[in-house]
Amino acid sequence: MDRWRGGIAGGVAATITMLVLFLFAEAEAQYRLGIGTLIARYTRLPDAPLVSLVVFFLVGVFVWPLVYAYVGDSLTHVPYGSDPAVRGLVFGGALWIVFVFVTRPGYVGVLSILTYSFTLFAHLVYGFTLGAVTAVLSQTPTPSTPA
């Protein structure tokens, strides 16, 4: 599988993983984090929650993985950058910074710390999963030698 298709497959795995983490975080915080509202702010569709979820999923499956497939190899200069999962972590951290600037949750106190912590963790897991799955699926299979 080439790196573009491997990236999209990695994006599917990473986006599903991230959404599951968001659901767990929201349930754990007794639905006070407002993850749905943050996703709607991120997609700039606050009045259409279902459409914003679809847009969020499409961006997570296609846009960011294709960007990662294009720039992922240039992240080898970071410490431990030879590991694709570490490159994915760096990419996920960069996505979290973009997420924070785009959404500006505006929470104060403990809720703010929880929101930023959960979203950072989810973005790092997204990046890790994206990097690892993309690397595994993008490898060119080597022919096995008969024994």
Per DSSP, the residues of the chain read --HHHHHHHHHHHHHHHHHHHHHHHHHHTTT-S-HHHHHHHHHT-TT-HHHHHHHHHHIIIIIHHHHHHHHGGGGGGSTTTTSHHHHHHHHHHHHHHHHHHHH-----THHHHHHHHHHHHHHHHHHHHHHHHHHHHHSPPPPPPP-
> What percent of the chain is predicted at pLDDT more than 70?
88
At 118, is the pLDDT very low, low, confident or very high (cuts 50, 70, 90)?
confident
- pTM greater than 0.85: no
Query: Ranked by mean pLDDT, which of 77-91, 102-116, 124-138 comes out on top?
Result: 124-138
Instruction: Give pLDDT, residue 25.
Output: 78
